[in-house]
């Protein structure tokens, strides 16, 4: 069983962010952990997740989970472990902002059982961080990494954002070099997208910012792929690079369509073709739980054809690809001809050029009905 916990609190909203967050000066850690545990116990009492299934991964995402009081985080993890055993070698990830990491906090996280930290670095350029409304300074990142390693949390991932507006003059190669100097185990690279309900969306709407041209997105995606694979990383998913053996276990479960339970506002869950998601706003989610009502906003059961398309989408995101038989041979040949895919050993995998066209290629494959539909219902 894989468990995702959404911690919605942030000190302020980053300029590009449209996640379900709650901006708070003071984080109500105790109340929030009580709400999460109430939600957890509601699910634990159902038969949707076999009671004996151990927790293979726990992922605290957000929001900013590193804003939670470390003592409350420890209480949360201890309560979950008291209800369900952890699998051997379980991966417990915490997303953290560099300015929240101190030696004492890192030690508390390690003592609570956190085995992996994903640091929201985004850039090492101070002007870019200011433009992004990030709360940390670039100079804080090396100290955060040192504190985590000294505390025994040695499985470290760094997040960076690429394809920024040209006017910022961001040096992507320099940022990749700075990241590699810190010898991370894993890197997640996300291309900037402009969402209308964000400060960036409003800047773009009134002409105060220009999104980057598509060529910049492609050039930086391919430059990172070249640089990081040459440095020994495996580009194992379109946005993720890991040293061999350090690929994210939790996220890989999503791409394999393994069952997972999401707790917290806006969290999604899935078991086979059945999926459901929580109320998005923190206040509504918490109020529902405290009133003894459901925190779930809606649910759906995917039709077999939708499962097929999702399998294609998830499989093609990864370097494991999909079974060759799940795609028409003529389409595979076309993709290979353009250099977008490779077929070998009975699998079809996208190349870097193919990943740049992932959505379009999946749409192309989805438009061709195929007999190999799986019925998971």
Instruction: Please list the residues that pair with 158 across neighbouring strands.
Output: 119, 187
Min dist CB 120 to ligand SF4, Å, is 6
Min dist CB 40 to ligand SF4, Å, is 22
Nearest residue to 255 (alpha-carbon basis) of 277, 240, 276, 267: 240
Which C-beta is closer to ligand SF4: that of 188 or that of 318?
A: 188
- Mark 44-63 with x for binding to ligand SF4 (rule: CB under 6 A) and - for no binding: ------------------xx
Positions 71 through 130 that interact with ligand SF4 (CB under 6 A): 97, 120
Positions 273 through 332 that interact with ligand SF4 (CB under 6 A): none
Positions 350 through 369 that interact with ligand SF4 (CB under 6 A): none
Which C-beta is closer to ligand SF4: that of 122 or that of 295?
A: 122
Min dist CB 134 to ligand SF4, Å, is 7
Q: Is 194 a residue that touches ligand SF4 (CB under 6 A)?
A: no
Single residue of 29, 35, 57, 64 touching ligand SF4 by CB under 6 A: 64
Min dist CB 296 to ligand SF4, Å, is 22
Positions 2 through 21 that interact with ligand SF4 (CB under 6 A): 10, 13-14, 17, 19, 21
Backbone angles phi, psi at 34, to 5 degrees: -60, -45
* Site residues, ligand SF4 (CB under 6 A): 10, 13-14, 17, 19, 21, 62-64, 97, 120
């Amino acid at each position: 069983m894989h468990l995702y916990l959404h911690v919605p609190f942030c000190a302020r909203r980053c300029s590009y962010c449209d996640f379900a967050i709650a901006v708070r000066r003071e984080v109500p850690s105790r109340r929030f952990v009580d709400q999460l545990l109430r939600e957890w116990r509601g699910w634990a009492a159902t038969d949707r997740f076999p009671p004996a299934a151990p927790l293979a991964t726990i992922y605290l995402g957000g929001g900013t989970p590193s804003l939670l009081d470390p003592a409350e985080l420890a209480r949360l993890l201890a309560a979950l472990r008291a209800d369900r055993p952890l699998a051997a070698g379980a991966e417990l990830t915490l997303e953290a902002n560099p300015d929240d990491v101190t030696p004492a906090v890192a030690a508390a996280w390690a003592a609570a059982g956190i085995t992996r930290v994903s640091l929201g670095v985004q850039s090492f350029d101070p002007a870019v961080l200011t433009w992004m409304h990030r709360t940390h300074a670039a100079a804080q990142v090396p100290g955060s990494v040192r504190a985590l390693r000294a505390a025994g949390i040695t499985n470290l991932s760094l997040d960076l954002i690429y394809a920024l507006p040209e006017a910022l003059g961001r040096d992507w190669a320099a940022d990749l070099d700075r990241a590699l100097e810190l010898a991370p185990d894993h890197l997640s690279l996300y291309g900037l997208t402009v969402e209308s309900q964000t400060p960036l969306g409003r800047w773009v709407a009134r002409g105060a910012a220009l999104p980057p041209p598509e060529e910049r997105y492609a050039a930086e995606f391919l430059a990172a792929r070249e640089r990081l694979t040459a440095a020994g990383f495996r580009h194992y998913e379109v946005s993720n690079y890991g040293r061999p053996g350090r690929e994210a276990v939790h996220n890989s479960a999503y791409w394999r369509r393994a069952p997972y339970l999401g707790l917290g506002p806006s969290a999604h869950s899935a078991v086979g073709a059945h999926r459901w998601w929580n109320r998005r706003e923190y206040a509504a989610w918490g109020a529902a739980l405290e009133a003894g009502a459901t925190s779930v906003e809606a649910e759906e059961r995917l039709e077999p054809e939708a499962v097929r398309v999702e399998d294609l989408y998830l499989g093609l995101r990864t370097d494991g690809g999909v079974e060759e038989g799940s795609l028409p041979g003529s389409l595979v040949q076309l993709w290979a001809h353009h250099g977008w895919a490779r077929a070998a050993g009975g699998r079809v995998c996208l190349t870097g050029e193919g990943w740049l066209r992932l959505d379009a290629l999946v749409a192309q494959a989805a438009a061709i009905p195929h007999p190999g539909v799986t019925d998971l219902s």
